[in-house]
């Protein structure tokens, strides 16, 4: 038997390794922008075609590379930024590890042009499959231009995995904003298919925020700034009245690197406490600087998560800094605390941060007693789905999209029959519906979500929902990434009764909305829908349309805590049991629980 182990050829090994660093066009954009920043550029231009699938080019006026460095730069583990393992602990530049350019050269056709100040001519290098195929001197200004074409041209499996141009472009916009936000002293421009998306002049942090997030924040930013030996925080939060229904405008940077942290976000939300509505999100752009040795360096550089040595101190610090800022600007009524004292005594630490409470209902014994036995909310047996309708107003015309797959069986006779007279609303949240064998406890919000979902599903399949024209069309200005998303959803939104028109600059005119969205609330409705959508958007198993339907249903459903008139209650219950699948929401939450009389009797010892 011959030996069977072989070493993979370099270009294949590089392609495999590249997968970790370059997952999609946006990852390459991030690496190239960060390299340009690290090179000390004061002007950085990003150009993409076809959402980066055809071309990503970054041109900077940074320090450039020598001829040898230019060739070396594309070798794996080639970096000018660290020399030994200790350097990893104090790294101040954006990228490190020396993997980005090697990865890019493994999965795209690359053209590099670079010149240093002290050199007469620059160098031009062309690379394909990690091989230099051309090199010659060129005349150019100091700086570097890297163009990568046909990303994943040699890895079709990855190329096929890429999402629509709109989705990939949205990721690129996100990455661009994250870099541009943290370097207001650098000029940035961004064009997509020759059209300008951003043109960001050098300026102050405040100006940069307004350039990126929109003029509506211009007079509404509260500065945050606190310094201690342990860490510094600076940046801005939006005044409470600028809080939005969508989470978009929230940025945390640690040592100038964008991070996502639910924990720190919680600290900010906590500081805003009673000042904003519960379901709204304040804007913030906050920079935290601390000794890199206080960060967990084992976190992969392409990941946005981060670990602090001492999370609780950071939490307390962030929370008090924001409270302090809001108080100083007389926005918060609580003036009676002192920042340093509160950090030293670690006030927020003594009341430890608890994870979101698990729904207590699901663990209560009552809930278990009834749900486990009857499972009325599980859509397990398809034969059970339809019979409601047969029992309930037989002769009403039914939506025909949701044909049950299984014919009605003998089971019918065992199904409970809801009575829609004398309905009772409890706690403005639940509705009691008596049946022939007990009662249903209907969750009004979940029920409405189911009803809306089926209505919207019908609408996109064929008969559109009527639009109510706005008398005074409102405009809505979105975060660039949200604008890209909304554009993508416009055709389906149209069927659902939203008449929206792009108006340039991430602005849309709301010409009309479905009749049940009240005038004046159009903007909020759309913002909330986008927020919901983003919530689902990492869920690959649903189509765009499905996510839209679910988002709208969730967002427009009448909320728990809303008092309903008798008529509204009756319509809700009628509509629910007219649904094809009345017993759960599209997202799988039960719409009602069944309580059987015989089991109630047993509980009472009868
Ligand atoms: P890293 O950034 O981790 O060092 P990269 O693969 O991104 O690794 O880049 C390798 C090296 O190429 C960098 O260390 C730097 O010396 C050089 N380089 C990359 N991009 C630029 C640029 N835009 N201008 C000047 N030098 C650059
Ligand atoms: Mg780099």
When the pLDDT of each residue in the chain is averaged and rounded to a whole number, the result is: 80
72 lines ligand 1 (CB under 6 A): no
Total-model pTM:
0.62
Query: What's residue 88's pLDDT?
Result: 62
Answer yes or no: are the C-beta atoms of 597 and 370 closer than 8 Å.
no
pLDDT tens, residue by residue, 185-206: 999 999 999 888 899 999 999 9
Q: CA 369 to CA 603: how far, in whole Å?
A: 10
pLDDT confidence of residue 531:
84
Domain with CATH 3.30.565.10 in the chain: 10-200
Cβ of residue 235 lying under 6 Å from some atom of ligand 1: no
- In sequence order, the β-bridge partners of residue 590 are 584
Q: What is the pLDDT of residue 182?
A: 93
Per-residue pLDDT tens over the stretch 112-126: 999 999 999 999 999
Confirm if 571 and 486 have CB atoms less than 8 A apart. Answer: no
SS3 449: helix
pLDDT digits (tens, 9 = 90+) for 512-568: 888 777 667 788 888 888 888 887 766 666 777 888 888 888 888 888 888 999 988
Ligand 1 atom closest to residue 63's alpha carbon, by position in its atom list: 25
pLDDT band per the 50, 70, 90 thresholds, residue 297 = low
* Res. 569 pLDDT band, cuts 50 70 90: very high
- The boundaries of every CATH 3.30.230.10 domain in the chain are 211-347
Pocket perturbation via mutation, ligand 1, pick of 33, 79, 102, 117 by most ligand atoms within 8 A of CB: 79
Instruction: Tell me the three state secondary structure of residue 227.
Output: strand
Is the predicted pLDDT of residue 335 greater than 50, yes or no?
no
Please check whether residue 531 is in contact with residue 246, taking contact to mean a CB–CB distance below 8 angstroms: yes
- Ligand closest to CA 114: 1
Predicted pLDDT at 462:
73
Q: Which CATH architecture has domain 10-200?
A: 2-Layer Sandwich (3.30)
- Considering the chain, tell me which residue range(s) the CATH 3.30.1370.100 domain(s) occupy: 424-593
> 460, 495 in Cβ contact below 8 A?
yes
Tell me which ligand sits closest to the C-alpha of residue 104. 1
- Asked if the model's pLDDT at residue 584 lies above 80, the reply is yes
Looking at per-residue pLDDT, the higher value among 288 and 346 belongs to 288
The pLDDT value recorded for residue 190 is 95
Give, in words, the CATH class of 424-593: alpha beta
Provide the pLDDT confidence category of residue 473 given band limits of 50, 70 and 90: confident
> Best substitution site from 20, 42, 101, 143 to test ligand 1's pocket, by max atoms within 8 Å of Cβ?
101
- What is the topology classification, in CATH, of domain 211-347? Ribosomal Protein S5; domain 2 (3.30.230)
The pocket of ion ligand 2, defined by CB under 5 A, consists of 35, 95, 100
Predicted local distance difference test score (pLDDT) of residue 409: 32
**pLDDT tens digits, residue range 350-407?**
333 333 322 333 333 222 323 333 222 222 233 333 333 333 333 333 333 333 333 3
Cβ–ligand 1 contact at 306 (below 6 Å)? no
């Amino acid at each position: 038997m011959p030996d069977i182990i072989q070493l993979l050829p370099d270009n294949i090994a590089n392609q495999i390794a590249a997968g970790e660093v370059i997952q999609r066009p946006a990852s390459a954009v991030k690496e190239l922008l960060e390299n340009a920043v690290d090179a000390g550029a004061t002007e950085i231009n990003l150009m993409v075609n076809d959402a980066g699938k055809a071309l990503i080019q970054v041109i900077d006026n940074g320090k450039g590379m020598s001829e040898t460095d230019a060739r070396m730069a594309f070798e794996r583990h080639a970096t000018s930024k660290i020399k030994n393992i200790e350097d990893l602990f104090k790294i101040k530049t954006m990228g490190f590890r020396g993997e980005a350019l090697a990865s890019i050269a493994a999965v795209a056709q690359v053209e590099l042009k670079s010149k240093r100040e002290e050199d007469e001519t620059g160098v031009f290098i062309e690379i394909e499959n990690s091989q230099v195929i051309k090199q010659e001197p060129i005349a150019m200004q100091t700086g570097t231009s890297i163009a990568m074409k046909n990303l994943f041209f040699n890895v079709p499996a990855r190329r096929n995995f890429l999402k629509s141009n709109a989705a990939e472009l949205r990721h690129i916009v996100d990455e661009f904003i994250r870099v541009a936000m943290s370097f207001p002293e650098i000029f940035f421009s961004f064009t997509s298919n020759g059209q300008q998306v951003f043109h960001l002049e050098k300026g102050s942090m405040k100006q940069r925020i307004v350039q990126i997030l929109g003029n509506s924040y211009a007079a509404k930013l509260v500065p945050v700034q606190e310094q201690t030996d342990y860490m510094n925080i600076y940046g801005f939060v939006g005044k409470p009245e600028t809080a939005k229904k969508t989470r978009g405008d929230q940025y945390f940077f640690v040592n100038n690197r964008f991070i996502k942290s639910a924990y720190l976000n919680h600290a900010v939300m906590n500081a805003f406490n009673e000042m904003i509505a519960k379901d709204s999100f304040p804007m913030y752009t906050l920079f935290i600087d601390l000794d890199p040795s206080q960060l967990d360096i084992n976190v992969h550089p392409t990941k946005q998560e981060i670990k602090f040595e001492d999370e609780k101190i950071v939490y307390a610090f962030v929370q008090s800094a924001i409270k302090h800022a809001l108080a100083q600007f007389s926005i918060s009524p609580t003036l009676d605390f002192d920042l340093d004292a509160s950090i030293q005594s670690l006030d927020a630490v003594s009341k430890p941060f608890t994870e979101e409470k698990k729904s207590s209902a699901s663990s209560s014994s009552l809930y278990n007693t009834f749900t486990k036995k009857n499972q009325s909310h599980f859509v397990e047996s398809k034969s059970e789905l339809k019979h409601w309708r047969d029992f309930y107003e037989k002769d009403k015309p039914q939506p025909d999209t949701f044909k049950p797959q299984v014919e009605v069986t003998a089971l019918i006779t065992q199904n409970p029959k809801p009575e829609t007279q004398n309905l009772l609303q409890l706690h403005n949240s639940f509705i009691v519906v008596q049946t022939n064998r007990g009662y249903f406890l209907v969750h009004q919000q979940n029920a409405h979500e189911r009803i809306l979902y089926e209505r919207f599903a019908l609408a996109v399949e064929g008969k559109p929902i009527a639009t109510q024209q706005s008398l005074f069309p409102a405009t809505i200005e979105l975060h660039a990434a949200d604008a890209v998303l909304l554009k993508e959803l416009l055709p389906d939104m149209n069927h659902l009764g939203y008449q929206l028109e792009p108006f340039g600059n991430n602005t849309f005119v709301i010409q009309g909305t479905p009749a049940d969205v009240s005038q004046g609330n159009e903007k909020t409705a759309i913002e909330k829908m986008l927020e919901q959508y983003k919530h689902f958007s990492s869920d690959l198993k649903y189509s765009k349309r499905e996510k839209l339907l679910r988002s709208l249903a969730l967002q427009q459903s009448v909320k728990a805590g809303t008092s309903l008139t008798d008529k509204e209650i009756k319509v809700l219950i009628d509509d629910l049991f007219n649904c094809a699948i009345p017993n759960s929401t599209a997202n799988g939450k039960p719409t009602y629980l069944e309580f059987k009389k015989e089991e109630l009797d047993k509980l009472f010892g009868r």
